[in-house]
Chains A and B, each alone.
Chain A
């Protein structure tokens, strides 16, 4: 199979071209095949005894042919995956300025705690008497989340951000139903710059989504919002700080107007990391908000575990929180799934039932609580302050040469548009690819959609000042090169030094190969083959 797509024939360095190597490897960067392209039939990593002869009951359906697994020794498998992992970029390798993803450092104490035998070896079906500590851990984290947000209740089970949105919007839907207004209130308002999951969640629950425009300061247009509010509106879904990295400065007025119209205020808490310890969403009139534990409290994508999206709820929505609830009877913790448990908490209502098996993402709960307790209240406040300071430092250092989308100061993200690249022939995509050659993972590009050629940089609080200075220096150099007006070709050629050159994203999207097939001749529609021709 030809796997040459994106592979450079030689490395361009200045004007000289380094020759291709005989092996295709570059120094100790190994050109790695797919595991299915490796190995020998019959080779095996373990020495298993012959199975005893047993009479099967398969009526001739017993498989006798090859099942198509590659035959590899243990060192071959270990080397294969280690080499692949070395081609990967991770938060443990350097600056990872992916806006909206909050790629902050995952402190090692989180991992130490998550691996304690009493936590790491738990099974969700263990007798409750043997997991008292784990239940107390969930309750302790719930207490912190309620305290940090100033909200009276929290649903711990949602598995990640979008699942949390679903949970919160289902609670709103249930509350409207209880008021007899669900049929009449069909509209959910969402700003144009919203995370795509907001309108998707609303639509999945049968609401109609109406976009609210932004004003020229990048915030919700309050007049347009007020004009859109009416007896048909169920809720607004609003992110704060918003996806442009800006604090919605009129948020209290927004929540008052929303409540006056009889609607609910769903706050997307994806950016809570910028205000944790500084602002309590409950004080802003929020009815519910999901918290991405895996952003605000470390452990981002690839940083230790899956997501977790607990939802804090106002008193009006608390009765509709899904099961299970962790309650304490006397000195014993238990996992409650009955109305009686709610009554013991002083809550009258009709919970949603279950959203998910078991109790939530225990590994993430553990890491989030470790993060919170190791930082303490003062440390969490500094987390938000340092994240905002870092982003503003980037914005201030680049605003004379790149083009900020909105007037600063910003919150935790510095957002630029592509007007500084106008007439240079260099696009946002080219600029991002050139960053890879300079040793930086690109920032988020083309999001939010409301900003042309957007570049969204979120340095987080994890990057030291001298590392930020280097990053800024690289961006300034790239910007200066782009502005010479003669560098478009060089930018279009980037990246030069990555394991693969510029991939054909269009062909990959139009004709994706979703699984390897045991064929020596790739089909005509194989984009790898087409790219090679």
Chain B
């Protein structure tokens, strides 16, 4: 089963081999409200951990999405251009943002597992 990790910026990453699929969490989509636009990165873009790489815009606010790990973008979810609501209805499914070929899997260690992330969200009140 694929491993899923979480960042403090409320991104998730599902790890399969060297590739990670990235999106935002249920908590993040609830906080944002209805998503109306998602700007995903182009394939081939190289990105460093923590760099702003995508933009998600809701009726309330526009927010940057940060790369939870370093690597190269290999695929992005083009369907979000037409159906940004997928981020609300299936944040961890059809609402994924992009896939990244990780350059340093060691970086995953700095991210949270599901239990730790749930505790983190709880601590936010």
Chain A partners chain B = yes
Determine whether A509 belongs to the interface, using a CB cutoff of 8 Å to chain B. Answer: yes
The reply to whether B36 and A449 form a contact with Cβ atoms under 8 Å apart is no
A449-B59 contact given A506-B34, A509-B36, CB 8 Å threshold = no
B84-100 CB mask vs A (1 if < 8 Å, else 0) is 11000000000000000
B48-84 CB mask vs A (1 if < 8 Å, else 0) is 0000000001011110000000000000000000001
Determine whether B37 belongs to the interface, using a CB cutoff of 8 Å to chain A. Answer: yes
Determine whether A43 belongs to the interface, using a CB cutoff of 8 Å to chain B. Answer: no
The reply to whether B61 and A446 form a contact with Cβ atoms under 8 Å apart is yes
The interface residues of chain B lying within 8 Å CB-to-CB of A506 are 34, 36, 59, 85
The reply to whether A510 and B61 form a contact with Cβ atoms under 8 Å apart is no
Determine whether A505 belongs to the interface, using a CB cutoff of 8 Å to chain B. Answer: yes
Chief secondary structure at chain A's binding surface: helix
For B36, the closest partner residue in chain A by CB is A509
Q: Smallest CB–CB gap between A100 and chain B, Å?
A: 15
Q: Smallest CB–CB gap between B87 and chain A, Å?
A: 12
The reply to whether A510 and B85 form a contact with Cβ atoms under 8 Å apart is yes
Number of interface residues, chain B, beta carbon within 8 A? 10
A505-B59 contact given A510-B36, A510-B84, A510-B85, CB 8 Å threshold = yes
Q: Smallest CB–CB gap between A435 and chain B, Å?
A: 18
CB under 8 Å from chain B, chain A span 470-511: 505-506, 509-510
Q: Smallest CB–CB gap between A191 and chain B, Å?
A: 16
For B124, the closest partner residue in chain A by CB is A452
CB under 8 Å from chain B, chain A span 501-529: 505-506, 509-510
For A428, the closest partner residue in chain B by CB is B60
The interface residues of chain A lying within 8 Å CB-to-CB of B57 are 509
Inter-chain CA distance A510–B82, complex, in Å, is 8
Q: Smallest CB–CB gap between A525 and chain B, Å?
A: 10
CB under 8 Å from chain B, chain A span 130-178: none
The reply to whether A446 and B36 form a contact with Cβ atoms under 8 Å apart is no
CB under 8 Å from chain B, chain A span 187-209: 196
The reply to whether A509 and B60 form a contact with Cβ atoms under 8 Å apart is no
Inter-chain CA distance A21–B93, complex, in Å, is 47
Inter-chain CA distance A132–B13, complex, in Å, is 66
The reply to whether A509 and B61 form a contact with Cβ atoms under 8 Å apart is no
Inter-chain CA distance A506–B85, complex, in Å, is 9
CB under 8 Å from chain A, chain B span 14-61: 34, 36-37, 57, 59-61
Q: Smallest CB–CB gap between B84 and chain A, Å?
A: 6
A446-B84 contact given A506-B34, A506-B36, CB 8 Å threshold = no
The interface residues of chain A lying within 8 Å CB-to-CB of B60 are 446
Inter-chain CA distance A196–B37, complex, in Å, is 18
Q: Smallest CB–CB gap between A186 and chain B, Å?
A: 15
Inter-chain CA distance A446–B57, complex, in Å, is 14
Q: Smallest CB–CB gap between A201 and chain B, Å?
A: 16
The interface residues of chain B lying within 8 Å CB-to-CB of A510 are 36-37, 84-85
Q: Which 9 A-B pairs have the closest CB atoms?
A: A509-B36, A506-B34, A446-B60, A505-B59, A510-B36, A449-B61, A506-B59, A509-B59, A506-B36
Seen from chain A, the residues whose Cβ lies within 8 Å of a Cβ on chain B are: 196, 446, 449, 505-506, 509-510
Given contacts A449-B61, A509-B37, A509-B59, 13 further A-B contacts (CB under 8 A): A196-B62, A446-B60, A505-B59, A506-B34, A506-B36, A506-B59, A509-B34, A509-B36, A509-B57, A510-B36, A510-B37, A510-B84, A510-B85
7 A-B pairs in the complex with CB atoms less than 8 angstroms apart: A196-B62, A446-B61, A505-B34, A506-B85, A509-B34, A510-B37, A510-B85
